[in-house]
Amino acid sequence: MVLGIGGFTDGKAGGPFYEIEVNEGSVNMRHFTKIANQRAANGYRMAHVYSQDRNTIVVWERIRI
């Protein structure tokens, strides 16, 4: 289950844009693969993955052009 998604930027024109997705418990790999492919098609890359208190936190990065 996705608990939330939020985004932020470094504040510089043309700088990277980050989105954070927090998943409760284990990640459904079918859903994760679908989302990862959609994000890749939209110019995102997976920048970081963290695990904390049984939650998975994924940071996606997109370079603005």
**4-61 pLDDT per residue, tens:** 455 555 556 666 788 888 888 777 889 889 989 998 998 899 999 988 888 888 899 8
Which has more pLDDT, 65 or 35?
35
Residue pointed to by tokens 């693969």: 33
Calculate the CA dihedral of residues 41, 56, 17, 39 and round it to 10 degrees: 10
